[in-house]
A and B are shown apart, each in its own frame.
Chain A
Amino acid sequence: MLLENFLSLLQKNKSNFLDIKTDISKIVKGCIDGNREMQKFLYDTTSPKLFTICLRYSSDYNEAQDMLQEGYIKLFKNLHKFEFTGVFMAWASRVVTNNCIDILRRKPNLYLISDNIKMIEESFESSVIENLIEADLMKIIQSLPHGYRTIFNLHVVDGYPYKEIAEMLNINEGTSKSQLNRARKLIQNKIKELEHQEEIRKTAW
């Protein structure tokens, strides 16, 4: 009964629920003790958010699944390291992000720079991006070369400073900045393309 209440409340609040320290401490301890129900509960609660992170860092849906699977195994393995002073969701996101970076670092040509990108300065109407469907935006992010995508995610979405990105990826700060600029341009180009296709589709109707 208690668990059902938990779950119904959870459906309303999703990940915010886990920031309540008293509850999360019980769940984390249960997971550390190997309680499958608690582990499943934690998974159900956190997986949509964490899967989104994996989708952002991956190039396709299947790779994101692999990243999430490996990420959860690491998360459960390292749960005892979680200090209850922090926000659990932030900690869990960090574990999964780290895992994504580890997987990407094992890939060859992580920092491939393509010179065929048209570096056109264009101003963007914010409404253009806001009107984008989430799935479309995710596809655009996934279509980036994985070096660009990684740096874009780390800096723009997850807020890592250039210096830390350089240390994490073992590159210099200048490279991470230039890669990010290229990533931005590429995203802009792709959004433009998408917008253009949309216009063609509308006129055809």
Chain B
Amino acid sequence: MKDFDEILRKKLQESNFEPPQNLWQNIEEKLPKKKNEVVIVPFFFSFLKYSIAASISFLLGMGTILVLSNSNELNRKVVDNSQQVSEVILTSTSESTDLIEQINLMNETPENFSNNIFSSNQSKNANNLNDEDWNYIAYNSQQNKVVVDLEKKYGNGQSASDKLNENSIQTYSLSIIEQEEVETSKIVEIEENSYFSRVQITKPSISYSGWWLGAQTEYNSIFNASKHYSNFLIGMPVGYDFKNNMGLQSGIFYSGIFEPSQSSNLDMPVVIDAQMHSSINVPLLFRYKFTRYSERLSKPTSINLVSGVDYGLGLSSGFQQLGFRAGAEYDIFFGETTMLTLGFQGGFFRNHTPQTDNYLSNNKMNYKIGVYSSLRFLGLKKQK
């Protein structure tokens, strides 16, 4: 049998048949023009290329904003404190002096806290405590806590009345309290202009409902029994959150699945000539939201679990897709009505097609995993 194959191979490989004379004219007509002439690039190819570039730059930009906004958040954190200060700690951090007292004041607003310090200091002084002295009070705000450094010393043989005569001590304490009052006025001002006026915050949770609309880019990796494909989508998601923690989402997406037409061989140069299967996809997903206020980002956030069905209609060869997908999303608010959504998902689907083709084959289960990002705009009603 080897001889038979060998003889046939040799004979067929040595054959040469001239193509018809007019074939070059047909080919020439379909070849692109010279480089200096205008070349019309199919819309969807350039569209996909730019959408991929745009989504990468979008993610990088948002990441930068997140990092930068996180480094200078004092004012916003003061705003956080104005909502509900959960814990105020009065403590000493100085190593050079003796720690005398640690006071923990729970559920105090900064204003009350200031007053308490003032009154406490005054009352202590007024009460003529003769065994201690207040050297200074320092005020810091970090990580949603108001921390006050308080140093006090036992008198070294000095009487309380002697210490009360040291004006510098009392003056210093008062000046700190004045500074706090200035901060308090800032708090009120920022609060009025903050985005929390529309997205109602009752820390540690937030609530929002209503319509939203957005723009989304998505990348999926598709696998079946023998092959792997890349899938890019771009489109408009839309949703309605009918409750604080539940909603439905859908949308319309343009999808491109790239199918390499050839795998590599060992002894020859390789050409990967991708074939694209384009389709319009419409998902219908249920989502369950866990909303919270992120102290790290200083922004309201929401984790959504989404799952549902996905329908696709092929643009080129009329194939249809039907599948299931599930995943998780992370929403970060950047304003009253704007949020960045980052998500990942997994799922499976089948193609139904009148044609026999490699990717589009019937009766083949395809699996996909992917990531996406979107910018979503909420059409919220103002909440009191």
Residues of A within 8 A of B (CB): 14, 33-36, 39-40, 43-44, 47-49, 51-52, 55-56, 65, 68-69, 72-74, 76-78, 81-83, 85-86, 90-91, 94-95, 98-99, 101-102, 105-110, 124, 126, 129-130, 132, 134, 137-138, 141, 156-157, 159-160, 164, 167-168, 170, 184, 187-188
**Chain B interface helix/strand/loop/mixed:** loop
| B:354-379 near A, CB below 8 Å | 355-358, 361
Distance in Å from the Cβ of B298 to the closest Cβ of chain A? 49
Q: Check: B26 CB closer than 8 A to any chain A CB.
A: yes
A40 touching B20, Cβ below 8 Å: no
Distance in Å from the Cβ of A27 to the closest Cβ of chain B? 15
Closest to A170 in B: B358
CB-CB under 8 A from B1, the residues of chain A are 184
Distance in Å from the Cβ of A72 to the closest Cβ of chain B? 5
Kindly specify which of B27-35, B48-56, B191-199 makes contact with the partner chain: B27-35
| CB-defined A-B contacts under 8 Å, sample of 11 | A68-B23, A81-B271, A91-B271, A98-B273, A99-B273, A101-B261, A102-B273, A130-B7, A156-B9, A157-B13, A187-B8
Instruction: Report the number of A-B residue pairs with Cβ-Cβ less than 8 Å.
Output: 143
Kindly specify which of B61-69, B175-183, B262-270 makes contact with the partner chain: B262-270
CB-CB under 8 A from A109, the residues of chain B are 356
Q: Check: B162 CB closer than 8 A to any chain A CB.
A: no
In the complex, which of the residues B4, B13, B19, B269 contacts A47, with contact meaning CB atoms closer than 8 Å?
B19
B11 touching A132, Cβ below 8 Å: yes
In the complex, which of the residues A33, A43, A78, A106 contacts B271, with contact meaning CB atoms closer than 8 Å?
A78
CB-CB under 8 A from A44, the residues of chain B are 24
A170-B361 Cα distance, complex, nearest whole Å? 10
Q: A40-B24, A78-B271, A105-B358 are in contact. List 18 more A-B contacts (CB 8 A).
A: A33-B35, A34-B35, A36-B28, A51-B17, A69-B23, A81-B272, A86-B268, A94-B269, A105-B356, A106-B357, A108-B355, A138-B17, A156-B8, A160-B265, A164-B265, A168-B262, A170-B227, A188-B4
A48 touching B17, Cβ below 8 Å: yes
CB-CB under 8 A from B95, the residues of chain A are none
A102 touching B19, Cβ below 8 Å: no
B31 touching A39, Cβ below 8 Å: yes
Closest to A77 in B: B32
CB-CB under 8 A from B275, the residues of chain A are 102
A49-B16 Cα distance, complex, nearest whole Å? 6
CB-CB under 8 A from B33, the residues of chain A are 34
CB-CB under 8 A from B26, the residues of chain A are 69
CB-CB under 8 A from B355, the residues of chain A are 106, 108
A129 touching B16, Cβ below 8 Å: no
Closest to B224 in A: A170
Closest to B26 in A: A69
Distance in Å from the Cβ of A166 to the closest Cβ of chain B? 8
CB-CB under 8 A from A35, the residues of chain B are 34
A141-B27 Cα distance, complex, nearest whole Å? 26
B31 touching A157, Cβ below 8 Å: no
CB-CB under 8 A from B15, the residues of chain A are 52, 134, 137-138
Q: Check: B18 CB closer than 8 A to any chain A CB.
A: yes
Distance in Å from the Cβ of A111 to the closest Cβ of chain B? 9
A102 touching B261, Cβ below 8 Å: yes
Encoded as 1 (CB less than 8 Å from any A CB) or 0, chain B from 156 to 168 comes to 0000000000000
Given A51-B17, A52-B15, A129-B7; A90-B356 close (CB under 8 Å): no
Given A74-B273, A107-B356, A138-B15; A34-B27 close (CB under 8 Å): no
Closest to A85 in B: B269
Closest to B32 in A: A34
Q: Check: B226 CB closer than 8 A to any chain A CB.
A: yes
Q: Check: B38 CB closer than 8 A to any chain A CB.
A: no
A124 touching B265, Cβ below 8 Å: no
Given A82-B269, A170-B226; A51-B356 close (CB under 8 Å): no
Distance in Å from the Cβ of A14 to the closest Cβ of chain B? 7
Q: Check: B12 CB closer than 8 A to any chain A CB.
A: yes
B19 touching A164, Cβ below 8 Å: no
Q: Check: B189 CB closer than 8 A to any chain A CB.
A: no
A134-B19 Cα distance, complex, nearest whole Å? 15
A110-B355 Cα distance, complex, nearest whole Å? 11
In the complex, which of the residues A43, A56, A188 contacts B27, with contact meaning CB atoms closer than 8 Å?
A43
Given A33-B35, A157-B13; A91-B3 close (CB under 8 Å): no
B265 touching A43, Cβ below 8 Å: no
In the complex, which of the residues A51, A99, A137 contacts B18, with contact meaning CB atoms closer than 8 Å?
A51
Distance in Å from the Cβ of A30 to the closest Cβ of chain B? 11
